[in-house]
Structure 1
Amino acid sequence: MAMENPFEGKEIWFGVGSQDLYGEEALRQVAQQTGEMVDFLNNTGKIPAKIVLKPTLKSSDGVKEFMVEASANPNVIGVITWCHTFSPAKMWIRGLEVLTKPLLQLATQHHKEIPWETIDMDFMNL
Structure 2
Amino acid sequence: TIFDNYEVWFVIGSQHLYGPETLRQVTQHAEHVVNALNTEAKLPCKLVLKPLGTTPDEITAICRDANYDDRCAGLVVWLHTFSPAKMWINGLTMLNKPLLQFHTQFNAALPWDSIDMDFMNLNQTAHGGR
2:128 match? none
Paired with 1:107 and 1:50, the residues of 2 have a C-alpha distance of 19
2:2 match? 6
2:74 match? 78
**Which of 48, 73, 88 is the aligned partner of 1:52?**
48
2:44 matches 1:43 = no
Paired with 1:15 and 1:45, the residues of 2 have a C-alpha distance of 18
Structure label with greater radius of gyration: 1
Q: CA distance change for structure 1 residues 42 and 114 in 2, over 3 Å: closer, same or farther?
A: same
How many equivalent pairs are there? 122
Q: What is the RMSD of the two structures over their aligned residues, measured on CA atoms?
A: 1.5
Paired with 2:37 and 2:82, the residues of 1 have a C-alpha distance of 23
The two structures have a TM-score, normalised by structure 2, of 0.86
1:17 match? 13
Give the deviation of 1:18 after TM superposition.
1.1
Which residues of structure 2 form unaligned runs of 5+? 125-130
Which residues of structure 1 form unaligned runs of 5+? none
The one-letter code matched in structure 2 to 1:10 is Y
Higher helix share: 2
Give the deviation of 1:120 after TM superposition.
3.4
The one-letter code matched in structure 2 to 1:112 is A
